[in-house]
A and B are shown apart, each in its own frame.
Chain A
Amino acid sequence: MKVLAFAEERGGKFKKSSLETVQAARGVADSLHAEFCALVIGSGVRSLAPALGAYGADRVVAVDNPVLAEHSNTACAKAIAEIAAKEHADLIFLPASQMGKDLAPRIAIRLGAGLAADCVAVKTEEKEVIATRPVFAGKALLDVRVTTPVKIFTLRPNVFTATPRNGTASVEQAEVAFEPGDLVTKVKELKVIVGRPDVTEADIIVSGGRGLKGPENFHLIEKLADAIGAGVGASRAVVDAGWRPHDEQVGQTGKTVSPTLYVACGISGAVQHLAGMSSSKYIVAINKDKDAPIFQIADYGIVGDVFEILPVLTAELGKIAGR
C-alpha cells in the first residue's frame, strides 16, 4: 500500500497547511504499514523539498519545470495524477487550501478516484479509512468512506498538527510532459490584500459585528488583532453594510474557520455566524447583551461595552505577547 501527499509551495516556502498534510498523511501511512512519499510541483521547488523530511517524508518526488512558474491548475493536476499513478499511490492527500481544493477534483477524475474533501479527521480502523468532514457549515459531521481503489482526501488547514522533528528527505526529480492545452489557464499575477493572516489559516481571530456601531470603530478590532498577530474577521451584517470587506466574513456564507482562539466583539451570534466559527478551540465573547446567543458557545465572556473593554484588552494582551 502506498500513501502520497502533495505539498503546496508559495513564494519559496511550503504553506503550513501543507506541512500539516504531509505529517497527517505520514501518520495514516504508518498506521496502515504503507509506504509514503511527498510530492512537490512547480518551478524551482526541488531545493525546498528536503525540508519535508522534518514532517515525515523520507522521500520526496519533485516535478520541477520552468513552464510551471505561472501556476496552472490543469497542468498541476495532470502532474499530480501522473506521478500518483506511476507511484501506484492508493491514498492521496492534499491540503484543503484554495489550491488543493482546486486541484483535487481534477485529479479525482483523472484517476477514477473518489474525493473526500475538507476533512477534519482521518481514522484507520482495521485497514479501512474513515474520513470526517463538516457539513451544513459545520452544524453536523459526516463520516465517509471512499469506495474506489484509489482514494483522495483534502485536509482542512489549521486542524492537523505540524510539529517538526529531525529528518531530511531524499529528493528525486520526475518529469511530466506538458502540452500547450495543459497550460491554457495560468496565474499571471498575485495581488496581496492584507499583511494579516488569512482567517482560514489564522491561529487567532478577532472578529467584529454590529456592536461596533460603524466602520470607523473597527480600528479597535484591528489594534487588538495586531497586538497578538491575529487575523481579522467580521459578521455578515457589517460586511453587507459595507463596513468590512467580504473576505473577512466568517459564517455560513463567508468563511468557516477553526482557530485556536476566536474573539467575538459586538457579535450577537446568529445561527449562520456560529456555523462558521463554532469549531474554534476557545471562544471569547464581548457583548453588551447578556442574552446574545454567542454566550452559549463562548468559553469566556464579558457582558459589557466593547468600546470600554477592547482598548484595555489590547493593552493587557499586548503586554503578554510582547508587542
Chain B
Amino acid sequence: MNIVVCINHVPDTETRIKISPDNISIDRSGVNYMMSPYDEIAVEQGLRFREKFPGEVTAISLGSDASKETLRKALAMGVDKAILLKDDAVRDSFGVAEALATEIRGMNPDVILFGKQSIDFDDAQVGTLVAELLGFPSVAVVVHIDIQDGGVVVCEREIEGGHEVVHTKLPTVFLAQKGLNEPRYPSLKGIMAAKSKPITEKPATPSKIRVETVALRKPPPKNPGRILGTDSSAVPELVRLLHEEAKVV
C-alpha cells in the first residue's frame, strides 16, 4: 500500500500570539514550532496502515527549511520517506493544496492522510481541496477507519451530536480527528535513525492567492469580571446576574 501523509510545521499550542508590525503576520520571535497535533494522528494512522498492509509511508510538508524539523519527527516516528516542498512565501489553503496535489498525483497513492485542520490557520480545507483536485473520495473528521478487501472503506466521521458511518473506496483522502488513534512517541532509536534519513527537497508549484489577508489582529479585550464570593452563598447573586444582567437564563 502506498501511503502519503501531509504534515504542517506550526506554532505550538502554548504560544501567546503577538501580531508583527506589518499587521498581517505573527511575530515569530520566541515562538516554538511543532508538528500540527492532528497531523501527528495522521502520521500514526499511516504507520498503522503500513503494519497491516505492507508498503511505504511518505511524509510531505510544504514550507521553508524550518519545516524539516517536523519532517524529521515524522521520520523518527517511522515514516519511510520525507519530502519538503520548498516555499518561504505565505500561501493560502488553495496554494498549499495545489502544490501538494501536483506532487502527490505522480505518486500513485492508495491512502492520503491529513490532520482535520492545521492549528495555525484552522482552515480545515487543504485535505478536501487535494481530494477534489485529484478526483479522489474524502472523509473528513474521521475517527475510525476500516479498510477491507478490494479497497472497500468503512469509516466513521464525527458530526454534530454523533457519528456518520461512511462507505467509500480507495484511493481515499482521510482528514484525521482526535480519537482516531493515539500517536506514538518517537523512540530514541527512531530519533537517531531519522538524523541520517534523507529529506528530498523540491520546489513547490507556484500558485496564485485566492484568499488574501487584509489584516491580522487581536480579538477585542474582554472587560474585567467580578468575583461574587467564595462559597455557595454567592449562587443567588450569580443566578440573578445571569438572569437580569446577562439575560442568558
Using CB atoms and an 8 Å cutoff, list the residues of chain A in contact with chain B.
15, 71, 73-74, 77, 97-99, 101-102, 104-106, 108-110, 113-118, 130, 133-148, 184-194, 196-198, 200-201, 204, 228, 246-247, 249, 252-254, 256, 260-261, 271-272, 275, 278-279, 281-285, 290, 295, 297-305, 308-309, 312-313, 316-317, 320-321
Given contacts A142-B216, A253-B119, A304-B229, whether A189 and B164 have CB atoms under 8 Å apart is: yes
27 contacts across the A-B interface (CB closer than 8 A): A101-B140, A117-B125, A130-B214, A136-B120, A138-B219, A139-B17, A139-B218, A140-B216, A141-B216, A141-B217, A142-B121, A144-B213, A146-B210, A146-B211, A184-B169, A186-B168, A190-B162, A253-B119, A290-B227, A300-B242, A301-B226, A303-B227, A309-B234, A312-B232, A313-B238, A316-B239, A320-B239
**Do the beta carbons of A118 and B122 come within 8 Å of each other?**
yes
Q: Note all chain A residues with C-beta closer than 8 A to B191.
A: none
Q: Which 6 residue pairs across A and B have the least CB separation, nearest first?
A: A114-B210, A105-B128, A189-B165, A198-B160, A185-B168, A109-B132
Binary A-proximity of B165-178 (CB < 8 A = 1, otherwise 0): 11111000000001
Q: How far is the CA of A108 from the CA of B178 in the complex (A)?
A: 26
**Do the beta carbons of A190 and B164 come within 8 Å of each other?**
yes
Residue in contact with A73 in the complex, picked from B37, B138, B158, CB distance below 8 Å: B138
Q: Which of B8-16, B65-73, B195-203 is near enough to bind chain A?
A: B8-16
Q: Note all chain A residues with C-beta closer than 8 A to B167.
A: 185-186, 188
**Do the beta carbons of B216 and A102 come within 8 Å of each other?**
no
**Do the beta carbons of A139 and B231 come within 8 Å of each other?**
no
Q: Note all chain B residues with C-beta closer than 8 A to A249.
A: 178
Using CB atoms and an 8 Å cutoff, list the residues of chain B in contact with chain A.
11, 13-17, 19, 26, 37-38, 92-94, 97, 119-125, 128-129, 131-133, 137-141, 156-169, 178-179, 208-219, 222-223, 225-232, 234-236, 238-239, 241-243, 246, 248-249
Q: Note all chain A residues with C-beta closer than 8 A to B210.
A: 108, 113-115, 146-148
Number of A-B contacts (CB under 8 A): 262
**Do the beta carbons of B212 and A74 come within 8 Å of each other?**
no
Residue in contact with B235 in the complex, picked from A144, A200, A253, A316, CB distance below 8 Å: A316
Closest to A203 in B: B248
Nearest CB of chain A from residue B125's CB, rounded to whole Å: 5
Tell me which of B139, B242, B243 has the highest count of chain A C-beta atoms within 10 A of its own C-beta. B242
Q: How far is the CA of A316 from the CA of B208 in the complex (A)?
A: 57
**Do the beta carbons of A309 and B212 come within 8 Å of each other?**
no
Tell me which of B140, B164, B209 has the highest count of chain A C-beta atoms within 10 A of its own C-beta. B164
Closest to A245 in B: B179
Q: Note all chain B residues with C-beta closer than 8 A to A71.
A: 164
**Do the beta carbons of B238 and A300 come within 8 Å of each other?**
yes
Q: Note all chain A residues with C-beta closer than 8 A to B211.
A: 114-116, 144-147
Nearest CB of chain A from residue B92's CB, rounded to whole Å: 7
Q: Note all chain A residues with C-beta closer than 8 A to B14.
A: 271-272
Given contacts A137-B119, A144-B212, A304-B230, whether A105 and B129 have CB atoms under 8 Å apart is: yes
Q: Note all chain B residues with C-beta closer than 8 A to A284.
A: 238, 242
**Do the beta carbons of B165 and A261 come within 8 Å of each other?**
no
Residue in contact with A317 in the complex, picked from B215, B216, B239, CB distance below 8 Å: B239
Nearest CB of chain B from residue A226's CB, rounded to whole Å: 14
**Do the beta carbons of A300 and B165 come within 8 Å of each other?**
no
Q: How far is the CA of A200 from the CA of B137 in the complex (A)?
A: 26
Q: How far is the CA of A191 from the CA of B157 in the complex (A)?
A: 10
Q: How far is the CA of A138 from the CA of B122 in the complex (A)?
A: 9
Closest to A282 in B: B246
Closest to A200 in B: B160
**Do the beta carbons of A312 and B235 come within 8 Å of each other?**
yes
Q: How far is the CA of A305 from the CA of B234 in the complex (A)?
A: 12
Q: Note all chain A residues with C-beta closer than 8 A to B125.
A: 104-105, 108, 115, 117
**Do the beta carbons of A295 and B160 come within 8 Å of each other?**
no
**Do the beta carbons of A117 and B17 come within 8 Å of each other?**
no
Nearest CB of chain B from residue A204's CB, rounded to whole Å: 7
**Do the beta carbons of B225 and A299 come within 8 Å of each other?**
yes
**Do the beta carbons of B225 and A298 come within 8 Å of each other?**
yes
**Do the beta carbons of B225 and A302 come within 8 Å of each other?**
no
Closest to A299 in B: B225
Tell me which of B156, B160, B227, B232 has the highest count of chain A C-beta atoms within 10 A of its own C-beta. B160
